[in-house]
Amino acid sequence: MVNEPLPAELLEPIESLLEHLWLSEQLAFNTLEGYRRDLSKIAHRLQLQQLNWFNVDSLSLAAAVFIDSEKPSSQARALSACKRLFSWMQEYNRRQDLPTEQLQMPKKGQHLPDIISESQIDALLTAPDTDTAHGLRDKALLELMYATGLRVSEAVNLHINEIDLHNGVLSTIGKGNKQRMVPMGEEATDWLQNYFTHARPALLKGRACDAVFVSQKKTAITRQLAWMIVTKYASAAGIHHLSPHGLRHAFATHLVNHGADLRVVQLLLGHADIGTTQIYTHVANERLKQLVQQHHPRG
């Protein structure tokens, strides 16, 4: 049915809208084709209901858009195309009403980060052998990433002049080329000092390097090596599927669990939008649910 030609009352408004968008907004070909596919799909569903763009109401349009077998993202894309069509029809007096006015975008399934407990983090941070240069470096890296919530790219790109051990803060350049100051905490600061004194010189063997974290190649560690360091000690601590970004999630989640203001967490993480940070309130809520289910007699 989808491949059958559409009748004029369903096809003509689609083509007229696309011509209008091409002339007035110079939309890219792929964007126009996306609108055509989504609107044609909805048009075929309206045809099955013996309806068209001119007489469909909100309820019938919703039935054509919100199909259970489709992902929310596909539904949202189709609804967005319909909104463009009906707004154009209203503007050019082809319809007086907006059947999309009461229709809300479907909520996309929100993927919550895996919950890493504080005891698991403790096990991770005690895993490196700090009697070796590599182990001491790894310990300092893990402590710093958990204490600051740095992205892995920010951690491996840290320079010596961006670390202030005296005041316990660092400066980093995040997404959007935005600089932010982040406190490191006493534990991470102490391990960094230890690393700078004993391990870093041993790894560099007299060669100059501006990077904070260095390898035996006497250059900055790579993102791949940082990833391997995290996963190596996570495995040793019995934590599965922990990535460097998982440490960032743990940092934020544990702050929220201990009552940190969401705006503060947003600043520390370098999120441009508070909405991105709000996921950690959901993670904290999920953890509370787990605790109740585990310990409450009627959980």
- Mean of pLDDT over the chain: 88
CA distance 88 to 262: 40
Active site residue 240: no
- Classify the C-alpha dihedral 44-46-49-55 as positive or negative: negative
DSSP notation for 249-275: HHHHHHHHHTT--HHHHHHHHT-SSHH
- The fold of the 8-91 domain, in CATH, is DNA polymerase; domain 1 (1.10.150)
Residues paired with 171 in a beta bridge:
181
Catalytic residue among 45, 77, 84, 151: 151
The pLDDT of residue 257 is 80
**Over 70: is that where the pLDDT of 83 sits?**
yes
Domain boundaries of the chain, sorted by first residue: 8-91, 118-295
**Three-class SS state of 59:** helix
In 3-state terms, the chain is what percent helix, strand and coil (to 5)? 60, 5, 35
**Over 80: is that where the pLDDT of 68 sits?**
no
Residues paired with 170 in a beta bridge:
163, 182
Catalytic residue among 95, 248, 249, 254: 248
Higher pLDDT, 21 or 114: 21
Active site residue 245: yes
The mean per-residue pLDDT over the stretch 76-83 comes to 94
Among candidates 13, 7, 12, which has minimal Cα distance to 82?
13
Active site residue 296: no
The mean per-residue pLDDT over the stretch 18-25 comes to 93
Catalytic residue among 180, 245, 282, 287: 245
Higher pLDDT, 275 or 105: 105
Name 19's Cβ contacts closer than 8 Å, sequence gap at least 6: none
Active site residue 249: no
Least confident of 38-42, 105-109, 118-122, 267-271: 105-109
The pLDDT of residue 160 is 97
The pLDDT of residue 276 is 66
Asked whether 180 and 168 are in contact (CB, 8 A), the reply is no
The pLDDT of residue 280 is 64
CA distance 156 to 173: 12
The mean per-residue pLDDT over the stretch 119-137 comes to 96
The pLDDT of residue 149 is 93
The mean per-residue pLDDT over the stretch 213-228 comes to 94
Q: Which amino acid is at 207?
A: R
Asked whether 139 and 125 are in contact (CB, 8 A), the reply is yes
Tokens matching residue 113: 């980060």
Asked whether 268 and 182 are in contact (CB, 8 A), the reply is yes
Higher pLDDT, 110 or 208: 208
The mean per-residue pLDDT over the stretch 206-218 comes to 95
The mean per-residue pLDDT over the stretch 27-41 comes to 93
Active site residue 271: yes
pLDDT band at 1 (very low <50, low <70, confident <90, very high): very low
**Over 50: is that where the pLDDT of 161 sits?**
yes
Catalytic residue among 71, 108, 175, 217: 175
Asked whether 42 and 56 are in contact (CB, 8 A), the reply is no
Higher pLDDT, 86 or 252: 86
DSSP notation for 103-163: PPPPPPPPPPPPP--HHHHHHHHT-S-TTSHHHHHHHHHHHHHHHH---HHHHHT-BGGGE
**Three-class SS state of 165:** coil
The mean per-residue pLDDT over the stretch 33-59 comes to 94
The pLDDT of residue 71 is 84
Tokens matching residue 152: 């892995």
**How far from the centroid of its chain's Cα atoms is residue 102's Cα?**
29
CATH architecture of 118-295: Orthogonal Bundle (1.10)
Tokens matching residue 230: 């995290």
Active site residue 20: no
Task: Report which listed range, 126-140, 235-249, 283-297, is most confident.
Answer: 126-140
**Over 90: is that where the pLDDT of 191 sits?**
yes
**Cα-flanking dihedrals φ and ψ of residue 297, to 5°?**
-60, -25
Angle formed by the axes of helices 72-91 and 8-25, nearest 10°: 80
Least confident of 27-31, 90-94, 176-180: 176-180
